[in-house]
Amino acid sequence: MGKWFEEAVFYHMYPIGMSGAPRQNQQEEVVHRFEQLDQWLAHIAWLGCTAIYIGPLFESSSHGYDTKDYKLVDRRLGDNGDFCRFVDKAHDLGIKVVVDGVFNHTGREFFAFQDILEKREQSSYCGWYKGLHFGGNTPYNDGFHYEAWRGCYELVNLNLQNEQVRQYLLDVIGFWIEEFDIDGIRLDCADCLDFGFMEAMRHFTREKKEDFWLMGEVIHGDYSRYIADHLLHSVTNYELHKGLYSGHNDHNYFEIAHTIRREFDQNGGIYRGTFLYSFIDNHDVDRIASKLNNRGHIYPVSTLLFTLPGIPSIYYGSEWGIEGRKEGPNDDFLRPAVDISQIREELPDETLMKWVRTLARIHTSREELVYGVYRELLLTNRQYAFARILEDRCVLVAVNNDEQDAVIRVSVPVGAGTCLDLVSEEAVPCEGGQLELHLKPCDSRIFLCETAGGN
Domains of the chain: 10-103+161-368 (3.20.20.80), 105-159 (3.90.400.10), 373-450 (2.60.40.1180)
In the prediction, which pLDDT does 1 show? 60
Q: What is the residue-level pLDDT of the chain in tens, covering all 455 positions?
A: 689 999 999 999 999 999 999 999 998 999 999 999 999 999 999 999 999 999 999 999 999 999 999 999 999 999 999 999 999 999 999 999 999 999 999 999 999 999 999 999 999 999 999 999 999 999 999 999 999 999 999 999 999 999 999 999 999 999 999 999 999 999 999 999 999 999 999 999 999 999 999 999 999 999 999 999 999 999 999 999 999 999 999 999 999 999 999 999 988 899 999 999 999 999 999 999 999 999 999 999 999 999 999 999 999 999 999 999 999 889 999 999 999 988 877 887 899 999 999 999 999 999 999 999 999 999 999 999 999 999 999 999 999 999 999 999 999 998 767 899 999 999 999 888 999 999 999 999 999 998 755 44
CA angle, 252 then 297 then 379, to 5°? 35
pTM above 0.85, yes or no: yes
